[in-house]
Structure 1
Amino acid sequence: MSRIAYFGPQGTFTEQAARGLASAADELVAVETIPQALAAVREGRTDAACVPVENSVEGPVTATLDGLNQDEPLVAVAEALLPVHFSILTRPGGGEIRTVASHPHALAQVRLWLDEHLPNARQVASSSTAAAAVGVDAGDFDAAVTAPVAAEHYPLKILATGVADVHDARTRFLLVRKPGILPRPTGSDRTSIVASTPNRTGTLAELLTELAFRGINLTKLDARPTRNNFGEYHFFIDFEGHIAEPRIGDALAALRRRCRNVRFLGSHPRADGVAATIEPSEGNDDFVQAADWVAAVRKGELA
């Protein structure tokens, strides 16, 4: 049995994702913030943490990116991809809705619905969608934009459900642990790193070229300030493949040579099951055969 911290309180999309990533014997532990979920793993209070990393509408979850790049390393061992449709919860018998609360990402994803159905309600940011539901239950707000699972935890009325301005919106979540044995490669994997480079012309292009030379397909690129010097950034890079593959290992070694620092954030199966795109002459067998040829030449076995 494992203990898994998740970005709570109860009733968030992250709880829903954690349920899908956990086994029946695992214990889910709600914490108030993403940094607290990551700290629970680093401090040994839980075995893993489930945190959101990106949304197809609002982009990266910066608290997760920054948290993974700070303090002791953690690595992602699994991911979940959830469709994001919201419920609007109010108190039973409540009157006029003057305030509606939720996490800023959630409010942004239902802005058009709110403008049409609750045009006079003031929008209030909360630390999570579930925290907004807690606030409605306590009488602090009149309505909350929440994950559907929140209705299971709080004695609130469902005003509307299936709400989303973009109906195919999705959020990706990571299950992170302390470094250890990685999941085996499946052929449909994702590798994540954060690279720090000197602030000079062409450094990002050099990083991406190392991937392109090896036929490795990029799936995500985000930049976050280093907080040391204005204009310097950490680059968070996701790409197809697994570190156990020769072509991926070769690329990571090249990036490690070029960068001031590289932090490995994990290799794990993709939630969508999409297989890696491999161009001709860029497969793992090609890299193995090329390395074997070099080894043979060094031994004097080939002219």
Structure 2
Amino acid sequence: MPNSVAFLGPEGTYGERAALALLRLEGLEHAQLVPCVGLRSVVEHVADGRCDAAVVPVENSVEGGVTASLDALWSNPDLCIRRALVLPIRHALLSSGRLEEISEVLSHPQALAQCSGWLAKHLPDALQLATTSTAEAARMVQGSRFRAAIASHSLHQQGELSELAFPINDAPGNCTRFLFLQRGERRQDGDVASLAFSLHRNAPGALLEALAAVADLAMNMSRIESRPSKRELGEYVFFVDVELPDGGGTLLHQLTQRLLPLCEHLAHFGAYPSSELEES
């Protein structure tokens, strides 16, 4: 049973909100939350045993895959996914000043990208500065009349910040999928299973062979994403999610057996339940 859970800190991030919701779903409300700086650090805290579990964002409906999380997972294939949660994301512009005074906007790069249209319309001349998290951005702008942060609107209740605008994300249906990671045995049953693989050869039809293994089992692939292997140009790692029917453990086993001879490396992160958090 997890006693400590790493998340992207500091307090007040969407990662903390997702972690609290995931702990409730797992019946682990009394676990200690451990804030970390950077997503790679979050994953490493569970991989090296400093924490019993970790919560990381893996995919956003607007900006796509969270590359730092994907790369960290590929670097730590012994980890497994216990549960996924889709969290609605509604950004606010927070500041100690007024909208017409703002010349700098701070936030996590994903949040800046998710609000790029709003910023172009309302603050076209403002300098955009990346921070390690939305909550860190909110902390950094407190007391400044020319700086604003893109963060959760709940943070305006802390310190000296006022809510200048809400919501400011360009896509009304903006949401992020978070994963609950642990070490240990992979589960074979759940709503979804996640795998990642690299291929033996970079040749015509090589990826098609791997995808045919999914299609031949009549499994629905709900996500595929590629990342550079970081070994040579043109070599990629592929992340795949497949939906599982009730009792789909046998299908999942068949899939991994079909993929093994086609892959140089195959990481199987397990099967797990996935749910959505209602917007508050």
- Trace 1:97-108 onto structure 2 (pairs within 5 A): 97-108=102-113
For 1:96-140, what per-residue CA distance to the aligned partner results, in whole angstroms no more than 9, with x for missing partners? Answer: 111111112111111222222223322112222112112102649
Residue matched to 1:219: 222
Q: Relative contact order (C-alpha < 8 Å, sep 6+): which is higher?
A: 2
Do the aligned partners of 2:225 and 2:238 also contact (CA within 8 Å) in 1?
Answer: yes
- Segments of 5+ residues of structure 2 without an aligned counterpart are none
- Give identity over the alignment, percent: 35
Distance (Å, rounded) in 2 between the aligned partners of 1:194 and 1:141: 44
Distance (Å, rounded) in 2 between the aligned partners of 1:127 and 1:120: 23
Partner SS for 1:19:
helix
- Trace 1:73-152 onto structure 2 (pairs within 5 A): 73-91=78-96, 96-137=101-142, 139=144, 142-152=147-157
CA separation of 1:83 and 1:94: change in aligned 2, threshold 3 A: closer
2:60 to 41, 55, 64: 55
For 1:247-298, what per-residue CA distance to the aligned partner results, in whole angstroms no more than 9, with x for missing partners? Answer: 221111100121111011221012259xxxxxxxxxxxxxxxxxxxxxxxxx
Residue matched to 1:253: 257
Distance (Å, rounded) in 2 between the aligned partners of 1:255 and 1:128: 37
For 1:12-43, what per-residue CA distance to the aligned partner results, in whole angstroms no more than 9, with x for missing partners? Answer: 11111011011321111111111111111122
- Segments of 5+ residues of structure 1 without an aligned counterpart are 274-303
Distance (Å, rounded) in 1 between the aligned partners of 2:77 and 2:262: 23
Distance (Å, rounded) in 2 between the aligned partners of 1:69 and 1:90: 38
Partner SS for 1:251:
helix
Q: TM-score, normalised by structure 1?
A: 0.83
2:235 to 211, 232, 235: 232
Residue matched to 1:265: 269
Deviation at 1:180, TM superposition (A): 2.5
Do the aligned partners of 2:94 and 2:153 also contact (CA within 8 Å) in 1?
Answer: no
Q: What amino acid does structure 2 have at the position aligned with 1:213? A: D
Partner SS for 1:35:
helix
Distance (Å, rounded) in 1 between the aligned partners of 2:173 and 2:99: 31
Do the aligned partners of 2:114 and 2:169 also contact (CA within 8 Å) in 1?
Answer: yes
Do the aligned partners of 2:213 and 2:259 also contact (CA within 8 Å) in 1?
Answer: yes
Deviation at 1:208, TM superposition (A): 0.6
Greater per-residue strand proportion:
2
Deviation at 1:84, TM superposition (A): 1.2
CA separation of 1:140 and 1:259: change in aligned 2, threshold 3 A: farther
CA separation of 1:270 and 1:72: change in aligned 2, threshold 3 A: closer
Deviates more, 1:243-252 or 1:256-265: 243-252
Moved over 4 A (4+): 92-95, 138-141
Q: TM-score, normalised by structure 2?
A: 0.89
Q: Radius of gyration: which is bigger?
A: 1
